[in-house]
Amino acid sequence: MRVTLNLPEELTVALLTQGLDLSRAAFESIALEAYREHKLSTAQLRRLLGFETRYELDGFLKQHEVWLEYDWQDLEHDRETHHRLGL
């Protein structure tokens, strides 16, 4: 799907002076918001943004102050996995 945005000149100038690719910046913002709203999984977001590794995605999320949801159940699951693998 192709989307056309009409941006106010003030916003356009602010973004362009930072050297941003406006199309990519808009795409990333939309994808990031979908992730925040749990409409995309981590794997989906990684593929959409073209990151090859989870590490690259983690850096992107950190840069945008989006933190991974990780609770006690996740920790316990990881501990059991590590124990089972002998790590």
User: What pLDDT, on a 0 to 100 scale, did the predictor assign at position 67?
Assistant: 85
Domain ranges of the chain: 9-85
Residue 71 has, within 13 A of its CA and on its CB side, a CA count of: 1
User: What pLDDT, on a 0 to 100 scale, did the predictor assign at position 10?
Assistant: 93
Paired tokens of 46: 């990684």
pLDDT digits (tens, 9 = 90+) for 1-56: 888 889 899 988 888 888 888 889 999 999 999 999 999 989 999 999 999 998 99
pLDDT digits (tens, 9 = 90+) for 46-64: 999 999 998 999 999 999 9
User: What pLDDT, on a 0 to 100 scale, did the predictor assign at position 48?
Assistant: 96
